[in-house]
């Protein structure tokens, strides 16, 4: 592991040359996998993640079926070669936690009531990890769900905010994530409804409110890139007006 830097911000620039509200470089491709119903490959800084969606498909075993809605299942996994030291294959406490919070980040937006008795399976594979893999996975999963044609209230966009050298910064890189004072991953819809909020470290209440504003800036930027990635694959005419709820019947949102 790298050593703790003496300073994280020098002359207004971070260790990788970014300003406090700048995201790392992002590359997105929708529909990467041929066999999945929906998929997305996303690079964000040093992160490389692949998301695949299967379904809605009949849920087995049957006793896990819900008669009134689809069950969203989310599996986040880090490839054993995704970090410097080989990760032991299989679920870990961390991957189980990330799978759970990521699934919950989509629960308020997916119209699960359209597909009773089924499962919508979301897989996120982290091929290369470099801080912020849960937010990268959520952004990719959001596009894979859209690519699979799963009806949603809108895309979910995610970005972390943190604190280093007493300043709030957006989209933490490795050193900031490892040695910073706070790490706050956030996911939200385009209209700012938060679907994931976690916090590691300490912030004052004022800093916390400021951090949420900064997270919104990052999520807005990510949303724009997600939209562009969908337009690249499907063309502009297929994009839904984000001001309405995608034509879904009133009151049919999964509670």
Q: Which residues bind ligand ADP (CB under 6 A)?
A: 83, 85, 87, 94, 129-134, 177, 183
Q: Whole-number minimum distance, CB 126 to ligand ADP, in Å?
A: 8
Closest CB 65 distance from ligand ADP, rounded Å: 31
Enumerate the β-bridge partners of residue 118: 58
Cα 85 from Cα 164, distance rounded (Å):
26
134 touches 151 (CB < 8 A): no
Q: Per the structure block, which two tokens stand in for 52? A: 């695949």
| Nearer to ligand ADP (CB atom), residue 179 or residue 234 | 179
Q: Give 32 or 128: the residue with its C-beta nearer to ligand ADP.
A: 128
CA distance 253 to 107: 10
Question: Least distance from C-beta 98 to ligand ADP, angstroms?
Answer: 7
User: From the CB of 177, what's the least distance to ligand ADP, in Å?
Assistant: 5
Residue 158: CB minimum distance to ligand ADP, A: 9
| Nearest 10 degrees: Cα torsion 248, 69, 238, 220 | 90
SS3 37: coil
In angstroms, give the least distance from the CB of 43 to ligand ADP: 13
Give burial (CB, 10 Å; 0-12/13-18/19+) of 197: middle
Closer residue to ligand ADP, CB minimum distance, 66 or 128: 128
Q: Are strands 26-30 and 38-44 parallel, antiparallel or unpaired?
A: antiparallel
Q: CA distances (Å), 197 to each of 17, 88, 171, 184, 221, in order?
A: 27, 27, 14, 7, 18
What is the 3-state composition of the chain as percent helix, strand, coil, each rounded to the nearest 5? 30, 30, 40
54 versus 123: smaller Cβ distance to ligand ADP: 123
């Amino acid at each position: 592991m790298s050593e703790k830097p003496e300073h994280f911000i020098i002359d207004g620039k971070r260790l990788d040359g970014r300003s406090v509200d700048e995201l790392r470089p992002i590359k997105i491709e929708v529909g990467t996998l041929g066999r999945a119903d929906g998929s997305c490959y996303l690079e964000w800084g040093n992160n490389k993640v692949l998301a695949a969606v299967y379904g809605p498909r009949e849920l087995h075993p049957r006793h896990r079926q819900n008669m009134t809605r689809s069950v969203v299942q989310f599996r986040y996994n880090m490839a054993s070669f995704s970090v410097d030291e080989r990760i032991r294959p299989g679920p870990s406490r961390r991957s189980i936690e990330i799978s759970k919070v990521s699934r919950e980040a989509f629960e308020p937006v997916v119209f699960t009531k359209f597909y009773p008795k089924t499962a919508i399976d979301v897989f996120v594979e982290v091929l290369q990890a470099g801080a912020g893999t849960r937010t990268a996975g959520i952004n990719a999963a959001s596009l894979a769900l859209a690519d699979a044609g799963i009806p949603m209230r809108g895309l979910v966009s995610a970005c972390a905010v943190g604190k280093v050298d007493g300043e709030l910064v957006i989209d933490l890189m490795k050193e900031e994530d490892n040695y910073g004072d706070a790490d706050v991953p956030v996911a939200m819809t385009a209209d700012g409804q938060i679907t994931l909020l976690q916090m590691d470290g300490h912030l004052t209440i004022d800093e916390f409110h400021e951090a949420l504003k900064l997270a919104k800036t990052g999520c807005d930027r990510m949303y724009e890139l997600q939209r562009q990635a969908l337009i690249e694959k499907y063309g502009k005419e297929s994009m839904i007006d984000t001001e309405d709820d995608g034509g879904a019947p009133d009151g049919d949102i999964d509670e």
